[in-house]
């Protein structure tokens, strides 16, 4: 099913940088501060180049105060828009590091250090209401309307013939509540975007339907229930701010994790609604084993076909998303740096059709 592009409703200045050789305007301070002028053209983080200057809005993804080799203090940050992240330094300052999740207006120089693009910040301040920032350009968002994705998941649960699994799946979704509309699937890896968990679940749901059509002997209801339930406990595992960005792992995430918390949540929901069949145990095994291997967090490997397929489609949807995101940042013919989570470099080939005139040349 083709979805429609989803954007957060705010309108206003486009985040990013005006890149030119001239100094950016100096901000007014205190009560005299004026609304920021409209920024145009827009240069995303992924397209920033060295030896330029600019100003614009970016989100703080990490921030800490450090001490340089000469003893002076500086702020080291990772700033981002929806296209990528950039390291930023505020040198020789006693300023407190801005909180993670803060939207900053920054004026900076784009430089290169050890072969990587880096930002030297000359001035920064938190965004205010007068700025009227367009958050949909700052924050990676799932490309489909989260309400439509959730409705598709609910419809899949409604279609289950097994009443126990149908009731249990709806109970788990009820427990998740509206947080599902915004929570990402991860902090930095696959589907690390507003509504990413829904997007990941819907992607797996569509794959699961294809598997069920290809292999009619599969328990379709059990597979669908496993897809819906497998990552719901990430709502316990991740601390998400009001923008839909992961701030950090919660204490529950560090101490328990979403696999174990997931089977506990299934147990509690099943008891509450009076489901006592073996289907509860099967669903718990699917959640516990969906990472596939002990080294990836699953204390049990999948022990029946539906559990194995859940692992396969979870890996496929996550891997395709992560590779697609990495390749999208490259120019045709370019290689990425080694991506630690994939343990490889990625390559973007030029898939434009060949020019027949070129092929006809001797």
Which is more confident, 39 or 54? Answer: 54
Verify that 69 and 178 share a domain, yes or no: no
The CA-based angle 28-34-40, given to 5 degrees, is 100
Among 97, 117, 138, residue at a domain's last position: 138
What's the confidence (pLDDT) of residue 356?
45
Return the beta strands (E) in 213-320 as ranges. 238-240, 246-249
| Cβ contact 25:38 at 8 Å | no
Same domain, residue pair 87 and 161: no
112 and 74 in one domain?
Answer: yes
pLDDT of residue 7: 40
- Residue after which a domain boundary falls, among 112, 138, 164: 138
Question: 267: domain CATH number?
Answer: 1.10.3210
The number of domains in the chain is: 2
Which of 29-38, 138-147, 157-166, 351-360 shows the lowest per-residue confidence on average (mean pLDDT)? 29-38
- What pLDDT, on a 0 to 100 scale, did the predictor assign at position 177? 92
Is the pLDDT at 38 greater than 80, yes or no?
no
Q: Do 115 and 48 share a structural domain?
A: yes
Cα–Cα distance between 24 and 39 in angstroms, integer? 11
Is residue 21, in this structure, part of any structural domain at all?
no
Selected residue with higher pLDDT from 38 and 16 = 16
- Residue 60: give the domain boundaries: 30-138
- pTM for the model stands at 0.71
Q: Does residue 346 sit within a domain?
A: no
- Sort 200 into a burial class: Cβ within 10 Å, 0-12 / 13-18 / 19+: buried
Q: What is the CATH number of the domain that holds 94?
A: 2.40.50.140
Question: To which H or E segment does residue 168 belong?
Answer: helix 163-176
pLDDT attached to residue 10: 40
Residue 16 is predicted with a pLDDT of: 58
């Amino acid at each position: 099913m083709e979805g429609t592009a989803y954007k957060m409703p705010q309108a206003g200045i486009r985040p990013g940088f005006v890149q030119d050789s001239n100094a950016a305007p100096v901000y007014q301070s205190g009560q005299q501060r004026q609304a920021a002028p409209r920024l145009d053209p827009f240069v995303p983080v992924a397209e920033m180049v060295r030896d330029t200057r600019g100003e614009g809005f970016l989100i703080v993804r990490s921030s800490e105060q450090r001490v340089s080799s000469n003893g002076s203090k500086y702020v080291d940050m990772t700033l981002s828009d929806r296209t990528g992240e950039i390291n930023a330094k505020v040198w020789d300052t006693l300023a407190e590091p801005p909180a993670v999740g803060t939207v900053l207006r920054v004026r900076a120089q784009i430089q290169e250090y050890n072969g990587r693009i880096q930002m030297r910040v000359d001035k920064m301040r938190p965004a205010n209401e007068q700025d009227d920032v367009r958050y949909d350009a700052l924050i990676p968002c799932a490309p489909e309307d989260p309400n439509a994705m959730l409705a598709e998941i609910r419809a899949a649960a409604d279609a289950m013939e097994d009443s126990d699994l149908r009731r249990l799946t709806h109970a788990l979704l009820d427990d998740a509540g509206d947080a599902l509309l915004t929570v990402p699937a991860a902090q930095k890896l696959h589907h690390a975007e507003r509504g990413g968990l829904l997007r990941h679940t819907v992607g797996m749901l569509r794959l699961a339907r294809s598997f069920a059509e290809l292999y009619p002997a599969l328990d379709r209801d059990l597979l669908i229930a496993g897809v819906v339930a497998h990552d719901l406990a990430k709502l316990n595992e991740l601390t998400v701010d009001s923008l839909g960005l992961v701030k950090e792992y919660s204490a529950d995430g560090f101490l328990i994790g979403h696999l174990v918390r997931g089977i506990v949540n299934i147990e509690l929901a099943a008891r509450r609604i009076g489901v006592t069949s073996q289907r509860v145990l099967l669903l718990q095994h699917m959640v516990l084993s969906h990472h596939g291997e002990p080294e990836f967090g699953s204390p049990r490997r999948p022990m029946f076909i539906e559990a194995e397929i859940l692992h396969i489609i979870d890996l496929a949807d996550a891997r395709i998303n992560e590779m697609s995101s990495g390749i999208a940042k490259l120019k045709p013919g370019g290689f990425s740096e080694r991506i630690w989570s994939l343990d490889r470099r990625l390559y973007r080939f030029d898939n434009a059709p060949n020019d027949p005139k070129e092929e006809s040349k001797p």
